[in-house]
Structure 1
């Protein structure tokens, strides 16, 4: 976002892309295997195996939290882009109506 003389400029393609990209990250996180299932046996019965299991368990919890937050951000970005597009269309319609006083106005 940038501005000149109080005007705000938004790149709707960037905002839409952010929503799509975050959605893709969420899908990737959801598709990850549990680490203990993939590597747990590789450590054998050692302290390292216990540490890895603790790490994997914590990672699973944090990954689920992060996935939820990413999903929320993706939805916000998509909703913001839609809202800005709607406002842009309404403003364009109002400007066209103001330039052509003979044009039919909504609600009248």
Structure 2
């Protein structure tokens, strides 16, 4: 029989950390916001900065969604492991109680 172990506390900690990363990632403004052509010195730089901002926004949204999904998965995994463990423990206690009263499987 294999000894499967899951550190559900660690999974929940991971989920909370991913949520904090998601919050930071989505709560920050675009790094290119607030600059004018005068501050950047040239319209071409402003254009390149704008292109970067558009590209960054798209990729940041995708990455943020993946981070959020991974956080949900780790939380769900911890809950599932704990549920299975509780069901197994209950079944084993019932089997022990049945055996103590002269019963067997069934």
TM-score (ref. length: structure 2): 0.81
Match of 2:31 in 1: 35
Higher relative contact order (CA 8 A, sep 6+): 2
Match of 1:91 in 2: 88
Q: Deviations over 1:30-51 (max 9, x none)?
A: 101022323x223133422222
Give the distance between the partners of 1:68 and 1:15, measured in 2 at CA.
19
Give the distance between the partners of 1:85 and 1:19, measured in 2 at CA.
15
**Which of these residues, 7, 10, 18, is aligned with residue 22 of structure 1?**
18
Give the distance between the partners of 1:76 and 1:82, measured in 2 at CA.
10
Give the distance between the partners of 1:47 and 1:73, measured in 2 at CA.
39
Q: Kindly indicate which of the two structures has a greater share of residues assigned to strand.
A: 1
TM-score (ref. length: structure 1): 0.80
5+ residue gaps, structure 1, are 104-108
Match of 2:41 in 1: 44
Q: Which has the larger radius of gyration?
A: 2
Q: CA RMSD in A?
A: 1.8
Runs of 4 or more consecutive aligned structure 1 residues displaced over 6 Å after TM superposition:
none
How far did residue 57 of structure 1 move? 1.4
